[in-house]
Amino acid sequence: MSQGSGAGPSEPVWVLDDHRTAAADQAIAIAERLDAPFRRLPLSWNWLGPAAWFSRGGSLLGLSHAGRGVEEPTWLDRGTPLAALTTAGGPALVLSSGFRAAAVALWLKERMGAHVVQCQGPVLGAARFDLLVLPEDRPAPAAVPVLRVLGAPGRVSPLVLLQAGEAWRERLAHLPRPLVTLVVGGGRFGPDLSPALAHGLGRRVARLAAARGGAVLALTGPTTGAEATEALAAGLGPVMSLLHRHGEPGADPILGFLGLADAVVITADAADTLVWACAGAGAVFVALPELAGRRERRLIESLLAASQIRRLGADLAPWPRPRLDESGRVALEITRRFRLG
C-alpha cells in the first residue's frame, strides 16, 4: 500500500505536492491508488516560480531555500536537501501536476532517469514526459502517450462514497426510498443564485421524488445565497426532505448524501461535483445548464458523451453505467506501463 511523507528516499514513486494549487490533488490521488509505496514531496515557491518552466531540461528555479548559502532547496516534509535525495537511490516514477511541479519533475528525470507522469498539461515541451493524463477536451502533442480522463482524477472513489454512505445510513433510515440527492450551486455572474431558479428547481425535484414515493437530500453551496436557499426550501415543501444549508455546523454530509443516493441532481455550475457523483451507484442528472461556464460546459459534454450523466428530464429512471473511477484507472495503467509493484 502507499505511504505518505514519512517514508524514506527508497520509495519507487515520488509525488510532487505543489500546495499552492489544487492541481496537486490529482497526482496525490493517483499515487494513493498505486500498489506501491510513495514519497510525497511538498514544494514551496518564491516569486521566481513561474519562470521555472522556461528551462528545457526542467528547473528548480523558484523553489524556496532553507536559508542563505544553501545550494539546493529543502523538501519541507523531512528537511532533507534534494541533493542528498538524488544520491540516495532515486525513484522509478515521478508524479506531478501543474506547470511549476512539471519543471521540477523534468529536472528529476534529467538527473535521475525517472519516468515522469504529468497531469493537467502542460502542452509546452510535453514530448519530454513519459505519459500525460489529460481531460478529453485538452489538446495534446502526438509525440507523447496520452491517457484521457473524464474530469480530474481525485480522491472521491466508489469505495469512498460507499463508506460515506454507510456512515450516514442509520441517520437517514427514517426517510423513504428512493433518495434523491440535490446539490445546488450558485449564480454564474454573481455570488447568489436567483431565488426564482432555486424555487423552480426545488419544486421540480420534489415532484419527481414524490412520484416515486421517495425523499430529497438537498445541499446548498457558498454561492447559493440566503434568499435562494429559502426559496429552495419552499420549493421542496411538498416532499419529505432534509436540507443542509452551507455553513451549518458539523461535518459536510455531501459524500454521505451522494453515497446513499438512488438518483442525484446537480446544477451545472458544480461540474466537479458531477464527477464525484458518477463514482456512486445512483443515476446522475445535470440541471440549470445556464449556470455553466465554458469549462463546466466542456466537462458536462464529455460526461454526457460517455453516458455517465443525463440532462434532467421528466423522470429519474436509472440506466446502465459503470461507476466512474478515473484515479483507479490511471493508477492501473501506470502500474502496467511502468511495471510498478
Q: What are the structural domain ranges in the chain?
A: 13-153+329-338, 158-311
So what's the pLDDT on residue 50? 66
So what's the pLDDT on residue 6? 39
The pTM of this model reads: 0.86
So what's the pLDDT on residue 23? 73
So what's the pLDDT on residue 62? 65
pLDDT in tens, 108-158: 888 888 899 999 866 566 778 899 999 887 777 777 888 999 988 999 999
Q: Indicate the fold that domain 158-311 takes in CATH.
A: Rossmann fold (3.40.50)
3-state secondary structure the chain: CCCCCCCCCCCCEEEEEECCCCCHHHHHHHHHHCCCCEEEEEECECCCHHHHHHCCCCCCCCECCCCCCCCCCECCCCCCEHHHHHCCCCCCEEEEECHHHHHHHHHHHHHHCCEEEEECCCCCCHHHCCEEEEECCCCCCCCCCEEEECCCCCCCCHHHHHHHHHHHHCCCCCCCCCEEEEEECCCCCCCCCCHHHHHHHHHHHHHHHHHCCCEEEEEECCCCCHHHHHHHHHHCCCCCEEEECCCCCCCCCHHHHHHHCCEEEEECCCHHHHHHHCCCCCEEEEECHHHCCHHHHHHHHHHHHCCCCEECCCCCCCCCCCCCCHHHHHHHHHHHHHCCC
So what's the pLDDT on residue 176? 97
So what's the pLDDT on residue 266? 98
So what's the pLDDT on residue 188? 64
Average pLDDT by consecutive 10-residue portion of the chain (341 residues)?
A: 43 84 85 91 73 65 51 42 54 88 86 88 73 83 85 93 97 96 83 89 97 97 93 96 92 95 97 94 96 92 96 95 96 91 62
So what's the pLDDT on residue 2? 42
So what's the pLDDT on residue 189? 63
pLDDT in tens, 264-309: 999 999 988 999 999 999 999 999 999 999 989 999 999 999 999 9
